[in-house]
Amino acid sequence: MVTLNKKYGILSFILIFIKFQVCYSGPPFGTDDPETVMFRHWEYYISSMNNYHEGVWSGTSPHFEINYGLVPNVQVHLLLPINYDYVQHEGGNIGYADTEFGIKFRFIQEKDNSPQVGVFPIIEIPTVKNSEFSDGKAKIFLPVWVQKTWGKITSYGGAGYWINPGANNKNWIFAGWEAQYNFSPAITLGGELFYHSASSNDDKSGAGFNVGGSVNPSEKFHIIFSFGHGLINDHIFNSYIGFLWTI
């Protein structure tokens, strides 16, 4: 039988896992790409991310994301999460904590023999005093992303460094790579592999996978989804479901 203290220890571990799943994800995956929203165009997401391990659920329900093409090859990004956690037979919590803001800059355009490349620095800003979902410290993520397309196949990935202040915290690295196939204008499917180093003194490095894609009823409306599992240390099932409007 799992004790309450052990469950809350698991919960703390899962909340660390959520940080890299939610806060710099390229929906519906954790790995992002260098492609920016077109100049003067918008992307609106309403999504939910969920993680499960040994009777403990946690995630966002929902989170809201907005991206805008500020100038050619530059987009601004805002993410507003409603966080939750639930321990089976013990109850749960829900609340808002950190606001995510970022700027994506693509500085190399894709050509026949070379990929596109960009950076996407992100800051997590403590917004509401909420010890359940935030330690009150701003976090910064500094990644580089690369992408190349061959016909109906697109592949992208890269790595980034998290500046992670706070008691018992450690700066850490995330790396991932994704590949996807456009079966038709209505369906795209793909998968990713990812790795992260330890983000605290009590954490371990981990690796995992996600598979998913998008169903596109129209050019402006998309249903995006993924699900996956940890492969090393992170024995957690995770899923993502979201709705994307492009304008």
Q: Which residues of the chain have a pLDDT value below 50?
A: 1-7, 10, 13, 16-24
| The pLDDT of residue 26 | 83
Domain ranges of the chain: 4-246
pLDDT of the residue at 234: 73
DSSP-derived letter for residue 198 is: -
SS (H, E, C) the chain: CCCHHHHHHHHHHHHHHHHHHHCCCECCECCCCCCCCCECCEEEEEEEEEEEECCEEEEEEEEEEEEEEEECCEEEEEEEEEEEEEECCCEEEEECCEEEEEEEEEEECCECCECEEEECCEEEEECCCCCCCCCCCCEEEEEEEEEEEECCEEEEEEEEEEECCCCCECCEEEEEEEEEEEEECCEEEEEEEEEECCCECCCCCEEEEEEEEEECCCCCEEEEEEEEEEEECCCCEEEEEEEEEEC
* Per-residue pLDDT, 20: 41
Model pLDDT, residue 25:
59
pLDDT (0 to 100) of residue 2:
39
- Distance of alpha carbon 128 from alpha carbon 49, whole angstroms: 20
Predicted confidence at residue 99, as pLDDT, reads: 97
Give the number of other CB atoms < 10 A from CB of residue 148: 14
Q: What is the CATH number of domain 4-246?
A: 2.40.128.130
Does the reported pTM lie above 0.85? yes
Per-residue pLDDT tens over the stretch 135-194: 999 999 999 999 999 999 999 999 999 999 999 999 999 999 999 999 999 999 999 999
The answer to whether 66 touches 42, Cβ cutoff 8 Å, is yes
